[in-house]
Structure 1
Amino acid sequence: MRIFQLIADQHLKIGDRLPPERDLVENFELSLITVRRAMHELEEENIIERRPRMGTYLKQSIAQIPELGRILYLKIYKTEYGENIFLDTMVQEVEFQLKKEHIRLLYHSAVSPSVEIAEAAAECLGIFVTGWLDVKWRDFLKSLGLPVMVIGSNPYPDVFSTVSYDMRTAAELCHHALLEQGCARTALVNGGPTYLPALEIHRGFMKAAKSHGLKPASVPVLWSGQSGIRIYLTDFLREHPDLDGILLESGEFDAILGCLWQMGYRRDLRLAVIVDNVNVIRPFSTVPGGIAAYFEQSIPVLAVKRMLRNTSCEGQRITKDLIQPVLYYQ
């Protein structure tokens, strides 16, 4: 499938010669057997032509190439959190990357495993998974016998390939930055206590606190929910009027700005936020002295790359990619 991306990138036309097989092996990190099998299948489909002692040539325009397979995108959600089960930015970006490879993305959202999902997966090359992965989902996905790529923190990085942001390091760097800029009374406004990225953020935040001689019990933490966050935030800020630095998830950013404005909170308060990418920083740039941790590398690009390699390889490889954060100072 990545051969088609090479054809597109090099603007090869009908009659142009493809790189030798050994070059494809090196470029795509595949075995020679896998490349030769792929080339044989393309020859069978009349897309390429092998000429003895001359090489391999493109026989059909890439625009005419049909769908080469399907991959399932499974979003696991919980009804109690009122989550959006419709297509989000992550799905759209993964779909965009797969279209380059002439692969169709099928989308399903679910609370529990079902026959419907198993039937959809049977037509697919692999499965992307996001959301609330638990033991029943782990066993169900393993039973399907397909390559699985989990996007985001999950409890089973030794069972399934994973691409996620290093939230622990991001939180540690942000808290270090707040403390090094003179903040003496810091706090964490976090996601729910069952949300794995939030747990990683908490660990990183507390690690930085300990390294500066602070006792965990002395550092206020608000574990927020999906609804009524402004009420909790307002109460939290009233309980801790002496705060001069707060680390928060990007999802709580608008809510805390509203609360601070409404309460007339102290102007020297510094905010640090963890965001997905540099584009999300723009609204945050209005906060004087703000700190942000963002991630330069794209999860969808890396996840698709790893998935395609896993679907091309003999046997399933478990890969772990932890994307590192970058600090931004306003």
Structure 2
Amino acid sequence: MVSPKYARVQSGIVNLIATENIKIGETLPTEKELSENFEVSIITIRRAVKHLEESKIVRREQGRGTFVIADIQGRVDNGTIVFLDIMRGELTFAAFTPSVKNIDNELTRRGYKLNLLIAGQKPDAESIGRLKDVKGVIATGWINAKWVQILNALDIPVVFLGGITCDPLDIPMVSFDYKKMAAILAQHLFDKGAKKIGLVLGGSDYAPSTLMKEGLVSVLKRRGEKLDPSRVYYSDDEDPGTASNSIGKFLNDNPDVDGLLIELAAYVHILNNLIDTPRRPLMGVMAVTPKLGNVCRNTYEAAFKDNIYEKAVEVLLENIQTGRKTVDNLKIEPYLVK
């Protein structure tokens, strides 16, 4: 059921009082500030505040402001949200990475608790059980059709974080536009004089790799060309210790490649193989956030404009607050850094 707009704002103001530690006798932000914060009209703000006044949480004083009159610190408990990380192969210890910690901080500020769940590609009873009685799920990792079916069947809001290779059904997805990123960089390399571009990617079944390849193919198609499969390198399940050697072999097998589109993780291996040679291909490095600065004159970098974790939280909380599922997928736009 969809809650009235003023009711959602009312809950938001209570959360604001608790998370911003607004004490008894202190004032709320002005109506204009609340209106901008919650992106609603001042009429809606006034209705929400009126209900809070009736609940003896605030008191309005003409010309002075709205004062907090109840101690609600620590009362906010909107429920639990699960961050589901689906892994391929052996499961690792569940730990809060900096990115997940950012999600945790944002959800805490809004009155939610975050639980981290590491699961395998085959849904198991224990993992599914931990998804019961939660307010929502942010799912990422190696999401497959089996997990999509399970998550779609849950009567709770779910958001997929990152691209997936199977049909997401009607679950919204927040992802980086890797296809557009690769296309921007490829066109830039061609504009700078590259004639033949190679790809150095992650696993062949890794969703971003597929999209990056599609980006290059789209640019080649506009040029009336086709992608030579021998110019694509996939790391797959390669031992990191042998990556530099196998990338070196790829470069040696493609001596005519004068432009490279590279995932950030492979960049150091490319440099290691080129440092003692006269070969200096133009390179386009694909990263989530800018990392390189002015490392090499022949290197160009693309990154993404927005924080994908913040956007995933926004989409999920909107679905929780409105009581509906949205099928609108959100793609984070890339830009050329250098």
Report the TM-score range of the alignment, normalised by the length of the smaller protein.
0.7 to 0.9
CA-CA distance at 1:165 after TM superposition: 0.8
Give the C-alpha shift of residue 143 in structure 1: 2.2
- CA 50–113 in structure 1, closer or farther in 2 if over 3 Å, else same: farther
By how many angstroms is 1:118 displaced?
2.9
Displacement of 1:308: 1.3
Name structure 1 gaps, 5 residues minimum.
Answer: none
CA offsets per residue over residues 199-250 of structure 1, 9 Å max, x none? 1100001111222232223771112224232232121111012222100111
Amino acid corresponding to residue 78 of structure 1 in structure 2: R
Q: Displacement of 1:286 after TM fit?
A: 1.4
Is 2:130 the partner of 1:116? no
Q: 2:268 aligns with which of 212, 235, 254?
A: 254
Alpha-carbon distance between aligned partners in 2 of 1:85 and 1:231, rounded to the nearest angstrom: 32
Aligned with 1:147 (options 157, 173, 184): 157
CA deviation vs aligned residue, 1:104-150 (integer Å, no higher than 9, x gap): 11001111223322332223210000011112101111222110011
TM-score, with normalisation over the residues of structure 2?
Answer: 0.81
Structure 2 alignment gaps of length 5 or more = 1-10
Where does 1:273-312 land on structure 2 (aligned, <5 Å)? 273-278=285-290, 280-282=291-293, 285-312=294-321
Please name the residue that 1:103 is paired with: 112
| Matched-pair identity in % | 25
* Cα 1:42–1:110 shift into 2, 3 Å: farther
The corresponding residue for 2:193 is 182
SS in 2 for 1:121: coil
Distance change (3 Å), C-alpha of 1:63 and 1:10: closer
Distance 1:127 1:328, change over 3 A: same
**1:165 partner amino acid:** F
Deviation for aligned residue 1:20: 6.0
Secondary structure (helix, strand or coil) at the match of 1:216 reads coil
Contact 2:58 2:70 (8 Å CA) reproduced:
no
The structure-2 alpha-carbon separation of the partners of 1:219 and 1:60, relative to structure 1 and needing over 3 Å to count, comes to: farther
Residue 173 in 1 paired to residue 184 in 2? yes
Matched AA of 2:154: L
AA paired with 2:336?
L
**CA–CA distance in 1 between the matches of 2:131 and 2:50?**
26
Equivalent pairs, count: 320
The separation in 1 between residues aligned to 2:282 and 2:206, in whole angstroms, is 25
- CA shift for structure 1 position 251: 2.0
Assess if the C-alpha contact under 8 Å between 2:157 and 2:320 holds in 1: yes
- SS where residue 129 of structure 1 aligns? strand
What is the rounded CA distance, in whole Å, between the counterparts of 2:260 and 2:109 in structure 1?
42
Q: 1:164 to 1:295 in 2, by over 3 A?
A: same
Structure 1 pair 316–37 and aligned structure 2 pair: CA distance change class (3 A): farther
